[in-house]
Structure 1
Amino acid sequence: MVDPSALGARLASSAVAPLVKKLFVKDQPGAALVTKPVRISGLVSFKGEKRDVTPKDVEKIADELVRRALKAAGPGELPVDATEAVAVRSALAHALSALGTLTIEDYEAVALGPDEFARTLRSQSAVAVATFALSRDAELFLDRLLHTASLHILNFFTQRSTYIARQQTHQSQQLAQLVKAVDVLLERLPSQSAEDAAFEAQYASYIASHHGTLTIYGLDVYAGTSEWPLDTAYLSLEATRDRPGEGATQVAAEQVLAQHDHVLLRGVAGSGKTTLVQWLAVTAADRTYEHGLTHLIGRVPFVLPMRRIVRPGSELPIPADFLSAVGCLVAGGQPPGWVDRVLRAGRGVLLVDGLDEISEDRRESAKRWLRDLTRTFPGNLWLITTRPSAVPDRWLDTTGFAELTLSPMTRDDVETFVRRWHRAAGADEVIGTALLEAVRGASELNRLATNPLMCGMLCALHRERRGFLPQDRKSLYEAALTMLLERRDVERDVRATTRLPFATQVQLLQKLAWWLIRNSRAEMDRSEAVHILGEAAPAMNLDGSGEEVYGWLLLRSGLLREPADGRVHFLHRTFQDYLGARLAVQELDFDLLLNNADRTEWEDVILLAVAHARPREAERMLQRLVGSGTARGKLLAAAAASYAAELAPAVRQGVEEGVRSLIPPRTRQDAYALAEAGGDLVLSLLPGPEEVRDELAYLVPLVAATIGSTPALHFLSRFRDHHDPQVQLVLASSWPAFDRHLYLREIIAHLSLSPPVFVHGREDLLALRSIGGWPDIHVVGAYRVEDLTELIVPEQLLCLSLDAPHPVEGFAWLSAFPRLTDLLVATAVDADTARQVPSGVRLNSPPATAT
């Protein structure tokens, strides 16, 4: 059998080149300059306003590449069987389709080379490709085909008439940028002594090496994975500034100093504040000036972690002592007066990290120190980071500091972070893809993955268990709590005057959590929290008052935050549920738990209580839930059974019998009732596509479509290849309940039977056009002919249904769709109207109620 990794090389250029060219639009003269850079995504022929091919044509191209490669192998040398050949073809099509999402320009792609470019395409389509579960031979075959295609794609770029012109234009732009950088540098750099210049070069190298890696604290990972290069690990997040009367404005976090000279940046524990400080320091110290951030050119960064420069009984450092205060290893070579000269020239970038990490009684002195420094040395850039509740709003207003807050990670941020984490850690890409699938499919993981700290925790735990997260949420939360409450401050060397034991912190926090749950509250008054903690302190032998204990938990636990003055809540609702359930079991509050089983907000609390309960307690809870006789009780019992470490066979059998009467649904009414009763809870109990084969198979995806959540969308994506027309019809008609563009990409674009897709207006038509159009479109509601002719892809449309109260009279406009064969109008049509239908189009005239 032939080596699959070498098979792609047997494809002759004359066979591959014509196929590759089909992926791109025809050549255009000149430099093809536009207001924005010309990206590869703008060159592909299956995306954009004018298409030469469609996404389905990309599949045909991939199919042809696979077919020719297998033919070149010769008889008896095939590396994969017929089934896997189909999977390789689909995976290759997904990888080639990633061309439509690349933001790099063609000359940048050529600079990457074929190996790295192929890896880029593969990483862009990693989630989709992983769903095909290829064997090792099939993986090697796919990699070789993709590499061969990449060679020809890059060669095609270099042959375009616009390539040389655009490359020269880019070089001119680079030269202009360099000239501008030199101008800024000359303006910002006063005449320096040779001693100052030599030390600055040495200091810049130190900053790059000392802050050039990112450390994830509190993770039990394999050796060498806790630190990774900052240039590959850094993730650009958004910072929000909310000013009364002006609304909220957002800016990339690394650009905050481009807009404001003085910035106080708030962010929750693990949100990336320290990482941003590191990135700004390394970027400012970069003496190549390729970053394009003019405000950092020629500046000198000073990283000042507050936990290191504030020492008991000592004053905050003067500028001459900045380097020695933070233990800078090159401080001994600092020329006398160098820091003063830098700051007086307005060349400093002062990065004061972790204002919350010093005791409250030192913060006023820190405020005076900052005020004196900013007034004595104007013209420098200042960034101060803190957790949200450490200092009040407008704390530094008098010194001209703008206040911004780091925003939570978006879905795209999470995907980018996970991919980079696994690449930097040297982990298998497939493991990262599996984690993304898990995060998308599990609501509790989705709620956790909101900042780099939590995402890093999930990545590490997932890899540590060789691609699997803990099977129970209890273990996941325990690992997170250990990291946040015990290990993180220890490993960060945070010097706290008081350090509460881990078990004490958990006990205190769960009292706050259970109070919030019992009172159906999302947050509480600060005074209420102080009272609860004050009452608990004596029994735990704590010396401090309730106010002192509250202040310590707020600043150091990472689990509490004050969203507004005098109010407090848990950073993640899921931790509140976990801690509250833990105390509920300790207090034997089972009746209170079960009496609220019909309330959605108590769902996770009950599930986690079963996880915390002893075997007999868990069994009694499940028996009561099943015995309630309600659909929700039975579903909750079935979901909770997987949380119990030990169950008697009779109890487990009773739970299974209870849910068997509900799943799978047998009528549409059953499906709707099941969705209403169970919500996301029911998704883990529904059968998968391989388990439903009869005429009622469509009822299973109907349940998920009715739920309409992100986990439900993930569940539906498993059914997109199901052969049943009714299943595909449910999928095609359910997208209004979800994120429009995501649903199109994840589900509709993959429906093989091309069922009718229902659109309800211009935005739906635009979205449908973004995936290359659709052959069968059902327009519901009033429409404009202009929208239909402008937004429906003419070459795709075969069937059109118009279901409107008052259809537009006349059908001459249908000539815009040359392939249209069927028109369905949901109203009565007389003979005069029928005569206006273009030849070749069959007009059906059902009653007005037709769908």
Structure 2
Amino acid sequence: MVDPAALGARLASSVVAPLVKKLFVKDQPGAGLVGRPVRISGLVSFRGEKRDVAPKDVEKIADELVRRALQAAGPGERPVDAGENIAVRDALARSLAALGTLTIEDYEAVALGPEEFARRLREHTPVAAFGLGADAEAFYDELLHTAALHILNFFTQRSTYIARQQTGQSRQLARLVKAIDVLLERLPSRSAEDAAFEERYAAYITTRHGSLTIYGLDIYAGTSEWPLDTAYLSLQATRDRPGEGATQVAAEQVLAQHDHVLLRGVAGSGKTTLVQWLAVTAADRTYAHDLTHLVGRVPFVLPMRRIVRPGAELPLPSDFLTAVGCLVAGEQPAGWVERVLRARRGVLLVDGMDEISEDRRESAKRWLRDLTRTFPGNLWLVTSRPSAVPDEWLAAAGFAELALSPMSRDGVATFVRRWHRAADAGEAVGTALLSAVRGAAELNRLATNPLMCGMLCALHRDRRGFLPQDRKSLYEAALTMLLERRDVERELYPASDTRIAYATQIQLLQKLAWWLIRNSRAEMDRSDAVHILAEAAPAMNLDGGGEAVYASLLLRSGLLREPAEGRVHFLHRTFQDYLGARLAVQELDFDLLLNHADRTEWEDVILLAVAHARPREAESMLRRLTGRATPRGKLLAAAALPYAAEVAPEVRDLVGAAVRSLIPPRSTADARGLAQVGSDLILDLLPGPEELTDDTDDTAYHVVLAAAQLGSEAALNFLTRFRHHHRMEVQLALASSWSLFDRGIYTREILAHLPQQPPVAVRGPDDLRALRSIGGWREILVLGPYRVEDLTELIVGERLVRLALDAPHPVEGLAWLSAFPHLADVSVYADVTEAEARQVPAHVSLNTVRRHGD
């Protein structure tokens, strides 16, 4: 027996749409000019003077819908007998005839949605009078719902429909129709038992994986877990193939491009979250995400740490649900998983290949190969940390390899907003955190994946809106989470793995970090790392030798990564600097630190060394930095002062006097000199607009000039504090600096907020598009060659008041200036003929500057 409620869903749009169309009159010539909604009763084809279909024909349409649905069921699957077929037809015809009595307008019907619209039609049908049994009534309801969906979709396709009023709902209807068609192709005949179990299993998947958990956070109950549908953030996955370069795709779309995917990602990069989201999306029956490759499929979430058991074989398909502890496993019909896989409807999400011991990975590889060959046509996603398996590990089984990319700036902002909304924290708290992250280089470098962003959010809220004022505490919290709590709470340590205590991991990692810093290296040979660890292992009472210690740190710490075969580096440079500085202080390597004070890459190491140092050691470092002849030493001392827990007053005064000789800058030369230091550390020392209240000097201008020259994200965040400054010189400095930053971000964050809209220089179509994205600009200077088509198409004519053209060659005509109705002045830095000058509209003032020697 087939589920009677599923029969209606077996009607493809190619069957239903033509039948539905017969119920309504055709659009007449000129109908597209109608500017008002249309009542449904005025659209039906079986009422009024110009009816195309007789009322009796509505019964024929209903009969055809019933016949086609039963035909799609196949022999032996019909839940109603011939007598009930007629009763279902009559009830359906009565409901469809009710279209002629509806006085609501077409856009109002679309807004109701198919469920509510079907209910309105059903209200006109006394179903009990037709003597329908339970199965027949379920069949009638499903047919009515299917017809309602296509009727509403038909409304949105008509020329008279005012699409702008319900665009979102129209798209949703179109998605539903498309999803049903895909579902019909993918969903073979199922028994009522299979269909009923799939409904229960889908509900279980949604409940089991419908929330997101962040591990290892010292926070109060309620903030470590929140609904997945509000917290999920779309990430990018990168595929880098030799000879083709790197290509990016949204991570949730990787299975749309490849049936088999091995997805690599560092600790906390969002691999498990993606697995959860794909599982819940596949189990969801609303199909609202435009992921047609998941329509009609059944997800199987297979965490490797749960399904791999000591001394046991990996599970057969029939044991998938039992192996992961699925609470409805005992209800599954015999052979159900195999039938799903044979029908090519499975989405198999194998999470955490790195979370099983190395000696089991080869057997897992064989298991994957056998399953993909035995059950072809299903979708497979396997996740792993980067170094757990070698490149092309599953290539022979047809798996494409991709890697999760770091979060973008906009992605970080979205994550922070959603986190605070889900944690029921105020929007202002999230905004303050974003400001802190963007304004501090070390926080900005940390916020690269969901795990680290979640840590920052939790720490920020736990401290009532403030992150730890000293970086040392921040990094200690992060390291505790990464090295100890997260994997322990997730029970990731197999009995065969080397488990290293937190304090010992810190000692080992800082040896690697200090070696890299001392040797000015970004990465090291794997053999060097193993050698360093092997030498340290006996003193720390570690068994297994350097190789075992290295393997444990690589897989479990989340801090080390192998970017290529035989190479290793720290995932975050910030942690390398923190750990290296810690060992430098332990080894009393202060001379080595201070001898590198003029090198930008050593700045964070020196700052963190002051944080780790004892009071006398910190004071000595500050004195020696202040006494250096270069501005960098004085600035570094000023930046390091807050890192020292205890400093004598005379040392504080010494550092203060040194920095006051440099900041704030008092001239353009001073500003450029500060910028030449080339470090964001000056940003914490520069005064903000609230501190610059004297309108008689140009200090604010010089401060903006110095910060802008850095061109960093922290500098951009600093400049946002000046975007509403009233002095024109400051506005000019901000407008002239956008070429130093990412064009799109600077346009949104700075230019869009400048009230006076000073002149902005553009150097090509991309610059013009950026200005167009914020509604255009009043005064534009075009530098270099240009195409007239670009200027007329990309410049917002209603906003342009002044235009300057600084091209190396004369302009070919100026008649196109008439495209800008509010243009008052145009300056041309080229020779202009009298004929060209006459082409300028009468209301535009033309200024020409001749170029000599061209």
Q: Could you say which TM-score interval applies, normalised by the shorter chain?
A: 0.7 to 0.9
CA distance 1:696–1:496, change in 2 (3 Å): same
Residue 175 (structure 2) pairs with residue 177 (structure 1): no
Tell me which amino acid in the other structure corresponds to 1:565.
E
- From 772, 776, 793, the equivalent of 2:775 is 772
Change (3 A) 1:617 1:382: same
Provide the C-alpha distance between the structure 1 equivalents of 2:842 and 2:568, rounded to a whole number of angstroms: 70
Q: Distance in 2 between matches of 1:410 and 1:563?
A: 20
The aligned runs of 1:56-75 (5 Å cut-off) are: none
Residue identity matched to 1:507? Q
How many Å apart are 1:583 and its aligned residue? 0.7
TM-aligned CA deviation for residue 609 of structure 1: 0.7
Indicate if the aligned counterparts of 1:277 and 1:303 stay in contact, CA closer than 8 A: yes
Shift of 1:407: 1.4
Seen in structure 2, the aligned counterparts of structure 1 residues 372 and 653 have a Cα distance that, compared at 3 Å, is: same
Take 1:31 and 1:459, find their aligned partners in 2: how far apart are those partners? 50
Are residue 365 (structure 1) and residue 363 (structure 2) matched? yes
Q: CA deviation at 1:239?
A: 1.6
Q: 1:811 to 1:370 in 2, by over 3 A?
A: closer
Q: Summarize deviations over 1:601-625 as a string: whole Å, max 9, x none.
A: 1011111111111111111101101
How far 1:29 sits from its partner (Å)?
5.2
Deviations 1:288-320 (A, max 9, x none): 444443332333222211111222222222223
1:275 paired residue among 270, 273, 276: 273
- From the superposition, tell whether residues 551 and 178 of structure 1 become closer, same or farther in structure 2 (CA, over 3 Å): closer
Q: 1:597 to 1:319 in 2, by over 3 A?
A: same
Select the structure of larger CA radius of gyration: 2
Inter-partner Cα distance in structure 2 for 1:696 and 1:485: 50
- Report the equivalent of 1:521: 521
Matches within 5 A, 1:420-569: 420-497=418-495, 498-569=498-569
The reply on whether 1:717 has 2:720 as its aligned counterpart is yes
TM-score in terms of structure 1 length: 0.78
Residue number among 338, 341, 356 corresponding to 2:339 in the alignment: 341
Query: CA deviation digits over 1:785-829, x for unaligned, max 9?
Result: 444444333332333333344442765444443433334445687
Deviation at residue 833 of structure 1 after TM alignment: 7.5
Letter in 1 for 2:332: Q
Cα shift readout 1:12-53 (whole Å, capped 9, x = no counterpart): xxxxxxxxxxxxxxxx95799xxxxxxxxxxxxxxxxxxxxx
SS in 2 for 1:409: coil
Question: How far has the Cα of 1:660 moved from its partner?
Answer: 0.6
Structure 2 equivalent of residue 375 of structure 1: 373
Tell me the distance in 1 between the aligned counterparts of 2:112 and 2:656: 59
Structure-1 residue corresponding to 2:820: 817
Secondary structure at the residue paired with 2:341?
helix
Q: CA RMSD in A?
A: 2.8
Structure 1 residues 540 and 721, CA, compared in 2 at 3 Å: closer, same or farther?
A: same
Q: Does 1:705 pair with 2:708?
A: yes
Equivalent residue letter for 2:716: L
Q: 1:31 to 1:595 in 2, by over 3 A?
A: farther
Question: What displacement does 1:843 show?
Answer: 4.4
Aligned pairs, number: 701
Any idea what SS the aligned residue of 1:547 has?
helix
Query: 696-705 or 515-524: which moved more?
Result: 696-705
TM-score (norm 2): 0.78
Q: SS where residue 623 of structure 1 aligns?
A: helix
1:522-671 superposed matches below 5 A? 522-671=522-671
Q: Comparing 837-846 with 686-695, which one deviates more in the overlay?
A: 837-846
The Cα shift of 1:830 comes to 9.0
Structure 2 match to 1:205:
203
Q: Tell me the equivalent position of 1:751.
A: 754
- Select which of 327, 330, 349 maps to 2:325: 327
In structure 2, C-alpha distance between the alignment counterparts of 1:525 and 1:31, rounded to whole Å = 72
The aligned residue for residue 730 of structure 1 is 733
- Which whole-Å deviations, capped at 9, do the CAs of 1:195-234 have from their partners, x for residues lacking one? 4333332222221111111110011122111111111111
Please give the secondary structure, in 1, of the residue aligned with 2:348: strand
Contact 2:470–2:643, Cα closer than 8 Å, also in 1: yes
Partner Cα separation in structure 2 for residue 111 and residue 638 of structure 1: 64
1:521-568, Cα deviation, whole Å (9 max, x unpaired): 001110000000000001111112000000000000011111111111
Contact 2:514 2:581 in 1 (8 A): yes
Q: Is the 8 A contact 1:31 1:162 kept in 2?
A: no
Change (3 A) 1:343 1:829: closer
Q: CA 1:445–1:761 in structure 2 vs 1: closer, same or farther (change >3 Å)?
A: same
* One-letter amino acid of the structure 2 residue matched with residue 394 of structure 1: E
- Change in CA separation of 1:109 and 1:201 when aligned onto 2, cut-off 3 Å: closer
Could you tell me how far apart the structure 2 residues matched to 1:432 and 1:325 are?
A: 40
Which letter does structure 1 place at the counterpart of 2:710? I
After superposing the two structures, state which structure 1 stretch, 270-279 or 790-799, moved more: 790-799
Supply the distance in 2 between the matched residues of 1:359 and 1:813 (Cα, whole angstroms): 70
Contact 1:107/1:163 (8 A) holds in 2:
no
Counterpart among 802, 805, 808 of residue 805 in structure 2 = 802
CA drift at 1:394: 1.3
Cα distance in 2 for partners of 1:161, 1:289 equals 25
Tell whether 2:414 aligns with 1:416: yes
Counterpart secondary structure, 2:632: helix
Return the letter of the residue paired with 1:757: V
Distance 1:637 1:772, change over 3 A: same
Paired amino acid for 2:181: K
CA 1:225–1:825: 2 relative to 1, 3 Å: same
CA distance in 2, matches of 1:647, 1:108: 73
Contact 2:723 2:750 in 1 (8 A): yes
Q: Which residue of 2 aligns with 1:315?
A: 313
Query: 5 Å matches for 1:75-90?
Result: none
Structure 2, unaligned runs of 5 or more: 1-31, 37-106, 114-159
Distance in 1 between residues matched to 2:233 and 2:362, nearest whole Å: 33
Opposite residue 183 of structure 1, the aligned amino acid is L
* SS of equivalent to 2:301: strand
- Cα separation, 2, equivalents of 1:600 and 1:506: 25
State the alpha-carbon separation in 1 of the partners of residues 225 and 669 from structure 2: 54
Aligned to 2:190: 191
In the alignment, what sits opposite 2:697? Answer: 695
Separation in structure 1 between the aligned mates of residue 473 and residue 806 of structure 2, nearest angstrom: 53
Work out the CA distance in 1 between the residues paired with 2:335 and 2:35: 51
Is the 2:175–2:287 Cα contact (8 Å) retained in structure 1?
no
Partner residue in 2 for 1:241 = 239
User: Is residue 240–residue 246 contact of structure 2 (8 Å, CA) maintained in 1?
Assistant: yes
Q: C-alpha separation between the residues in 2 aligned to 1:662 and 1:327? A: 65
CA distance in 2, matches of 1:30, 1:246: 52
Cα deviation 1:62-102 (Å, max 9, x = unaligned): xxxxxxxxxxxxxxxxxxxxxxxxxxxxxxxxxxxxxxxxx
1 CA distance for matches of 2:169 and 2:424? 37
8 Å Cα contact 1:31-1:169 kept in structure 2: no
Partner Cα separation in structure 1 for residue 161 and residue 337 of structure 2: 52
Matches within 5 A, 1:42-57: none
Change (3 A) 1:30 1:535: farther
Alignment correspondent of 1:306 = 304
Question: In the TM superposition, what is the alpha-carbon distance from 1:160 to its structure 2 partner?
Answer: 9.4
- Aligned equivalents of 2:108 and 2:518: distance in 1? 61
* 1:84-99 correspondence to structure 2 within 5 Å: none
Identify if the C-alpha distance between structure 1 residues 644 and 172 changes in structure 2 by more than 3 Å, giving closer, same or farther.
closer
Identity over aligned pairs, percent:
74
Instruction: Report deviation, 1:261.
Output: 2.1
Kindly report which structure 2 residues correspond to 1:94-173, keeping only aligned pairs within 5 A, or say none: 161-163=162-164, 170=171, 173=174
Distance 1:295 1:795 in 2: 45
Residue 519 of structure 1 aligns with an amino acid whose one-letter code is N
Distance of 1:715 and 1:249 partners within structure 2: 33
Report Cα offsets for 1:391-411 as digits up to 9, x if no partner: 111111222222111111111
Contact persistence 2:416–2:453 (CA under 8 A): yes
Partner SS state of residue 310, structure 2: coil
Task: Name the SS of the counterpart of 1:395 in structure 2.
Answer: coil
